[in-house]
């Protein structure tokens, strides 16, 4: 999900970039609607296509949104967008941005702040925690569009009569009671962004922070506690493939082996929705706490909407972005694409609650959610965490955190670590 082996994918990115350059122009000389190009990942469920269609129908001919589909891989999305914005490309109007891009894009002056009535629209009815990833240096730079968070999933038959664990320590102990064949915890332990999400969630749940918005490195005892938990999972109850597992491969192992526990996103529910037997056996609960009696704080993801500094018609680009972020479009993205809304009221919508019986749990988790560090150097910060915490089974908690502290000091300055 973050940068890795960039030069191995250069040829692929060049081909995709060339296709985007030749296929996204808009001609307004005919006096027709303003052409607004929305660059965002290719959402396979049809939710984004439907949102675009609704906006184009509703705006009375003022603008036409063109959905420019980027690769589904977040690294490739960022590479393509950064190359074009660095070249001051005027073809990009609205950007579907990973929640981690805000500070970097704002600092580079690639996006415009949402001010006045636009800021009010970006904040309206949003889950408050999600705005943490939209703000940088006391300004709102993006409008939260869709979001996501992790839950605890378990197989009811494997758990048996045992209570659903509320903490990571309880989950490890319960897995060991179940036994080595099915008593496993599936988690994203590959050397990629999923590992960072795991660590960041554990640190926050332990009452700490990795690095502040001012760039002050915190870590300390909560980070050591988080690293200890990662080590325990990997060596006592993790799968044999924990060091290479990501969201999809982990779900395959969890489902195929009827394994005890998994932390993962709500696509897990949709993946078995057509199998009544499997669905009835699938349990879900809140992401485990680190400290008994205290809530977990899970790292949220999602897509925010930014307006390019180089947009041809900036006021209309903001209007198009506000339309995409409106309730009707968020709802269709949730129902068709499985992407949760950022507006609080939509969690009470009857259709959304029917599609997602765990909607209250998701909203509760998001209310206590945390962002990853909102800093321009986030990509390097992420790579530093991946470098010092992988594989999770080899973590030496105090030493690894001490090494991470040094690596983060260099990473936030853009130096090699």
Report DSSP state, residue 292. Answer: T
Fold classification of 151-299+377-411 (topology level):
D-Maltodextrin-Binding Protein; domain 2 (3.40.190)
Tokens describing residue 337: 């694409």
Over residues 301-358, the pLDDT tens digits come to 999 999 999 999 999 999 999 999 999 999 999 999 889 999 999 999 999 999 999 9
Confidence at residue 413, expressed as pLDDT on a 0 to 100 scale: 84
Q: What contacts 82, CB < 8 A, 6 or more positions away?
A: none
Query: What's the pLDDT score for residue 30?
Result: 56
pLDDT digits (tens, 9 = 90+) for 259-287: 999 999 999 998 898 899 999 999 999 99
Write down the pTM of the prediction. Answer: 0.89
CA gap 208, 129 in Å, rounded: 16
Percent of the chain with pLDDT over 90: 87
pLDDT at 4 over 80: no
**Structure tokens belonging to residue 394:** 């080899």
Rounded to an integer, the average pLDDT of 79-94 is 96
- pLDDT bin (cut points 50, 70, 90) of residue 17 is very low
DSSP secondary structure of 95-156 = EEEETT-HHHHHHTT-B--B-THHHHHHHTTB-GGGGGGTEETTEE--EEEEEE--EEEEEH
Strand 34-41 vs strand 94-98: parallel, antiparallel, or unpaired? parallel
The pLDDT confidence band at residue 29, using thresholds 50, 70 and 90, is low
**Lowest mean pLDDT across 34-38, 74-78, 105-109:** 74-78
Check whether 8 has a pLDDT greater than 70.
no
Domain with CATH 3.40.190.10 in the chain: 6-148+301-367, 151-299+377-411
Q: Which of 28-32, 181-185, 248-252 has the lowest mean pLDDT?
A: 28-32
Distance CA 150, CA 262 (A): 10
As a whole number of angstroms, the distance between CA 83 and CA 365 comes to 35
Average pLDDT over residues 120-146: 97
Mean pLDDT, rounded, of the chain: 92
Q: Single out the residue of 67, 41, 44 nearest to residue 54, CA to CA.
A: 67
- Which of 7 and 325 is assigned the larger pLDDT? 325
Burial of 235 by CB count in 10 Å (0-12 exposed, 13-18 middle, 19+ buried)?
Answer: middle
pLDDT at 190: 96
Is the predicted pLDDT of residue 256 greater than 80, yes or no? yes
End-to-end CA separation in angstroms for the chain = 20
d(C-alpha 254, C-alpha 258), whole Å: 6
Instruction: Write down the pLDDT at residue 291.
Output: 95
Among the residues of 144-290, which ranges form H helices? 156-159, 168-178, 193-205, 220-232, 247-256, 267-271, 276-281
CATH number, domain 6-148+301-367, options 3.40.190.10, 3.40.50.10540, 3.40.50.300, 3.40.50.620: 3.40.190.10
- Residue 157, CB-side half-sphere exposure with 13 Å CA sphere: 10
DSSP string for residues in 348-384: G-HHHHHH-TTHHHHHHHHHT-BPSP-STTHHHHHHH
What does the block give as tokens for 10? 């250069």
Nearest-10 crossing angle of helices 74-86, 10-23:
60
- The residue with greater pLDDT, 20 or 170, is 170
**Torsion 282-302-247-180 (CA) sign:** negative
């Amino acid at each position: 999900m973050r940068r890795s082996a960039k030069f191995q994918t250069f040829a692929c990115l060049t081909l995709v970039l060339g296709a985007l350059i030749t296929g996204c122009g808009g001609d307004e000389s005919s006096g027709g609607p303003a052409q607004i190009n929305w660059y965002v990942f290719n959402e396979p469920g049809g939710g984004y296509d439907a949102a675009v269609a609704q906006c184009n129908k509703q705006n009375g001919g003022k603008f036409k949104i063109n959905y420019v589909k980027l690769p589904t891989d977040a690294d490739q999305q960022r590479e393509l967008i950064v190359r074009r914005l660095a070249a001051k490309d005027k073809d990009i109007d609205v950007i579907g941005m990973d929640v981690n891009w805000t500070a970097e894009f704002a600092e580079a002056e690639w996006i415009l702040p949402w001010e006045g009535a636009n800021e009010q629209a970006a904040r309206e009815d949003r889950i408050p925690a999600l705005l943490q990833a939209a703000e940088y240096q006391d300004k709102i730079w993006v409008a939260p569009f869709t979001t996501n968070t992790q839950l605890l999933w378990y197989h009811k038959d494997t758990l048996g009569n045992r209570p659903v664990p509320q903490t990571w320590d309880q989950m490890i102990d319960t897995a060991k009671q179940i036994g080595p064949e099915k008593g496993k915890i599936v988690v994203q332990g590959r050397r990629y962004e999923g590992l960072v999400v795991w660590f960041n969630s554990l640190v926050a749940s332990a009452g700490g922070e990795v690095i502040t918005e001012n760039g002050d490195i915190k870590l300390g005892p909560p980070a050591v506690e988080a690293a200890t938990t990662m080590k325990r999972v990997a060596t006592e109850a993790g799968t044999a493939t924990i060091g290479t597992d990501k969201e999809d491969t982990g779900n395959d192992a969890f489902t195929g082996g009827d394994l005890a526990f998994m932390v993962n996103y709500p696509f897990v529910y949709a993946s078995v929705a057509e199998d009544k037997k499997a669905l009835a056996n699938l349990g879900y609960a809140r992401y485990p706490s680190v400290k008994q009696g205290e809530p977990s704080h899970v790292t949220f993801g999602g897509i925010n909407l930014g307006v390019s500094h180089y947009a041809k018609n900036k006021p209309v680009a903001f209007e198009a972005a506000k339309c995409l972020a409106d309730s009707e479009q968020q709802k269709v993205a949730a129902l068709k694409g499985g992407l949760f809304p950022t507006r609080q009221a939509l969690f009470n919508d009857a259709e959304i609650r029917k599609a997602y019986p765990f909607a209250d749990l998701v909203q509760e988790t998001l209310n206590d959610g945390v962002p990853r560090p909102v800093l321009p150097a986030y990509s390097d910060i992420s790579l530093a965490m991946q470098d010092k915490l992988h594989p999770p089974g080899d973590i030496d908690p105090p030493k690894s955190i001490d090494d991470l502290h040094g690596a983060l000091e260099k990473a936030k300055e853009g130096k090699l670590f």
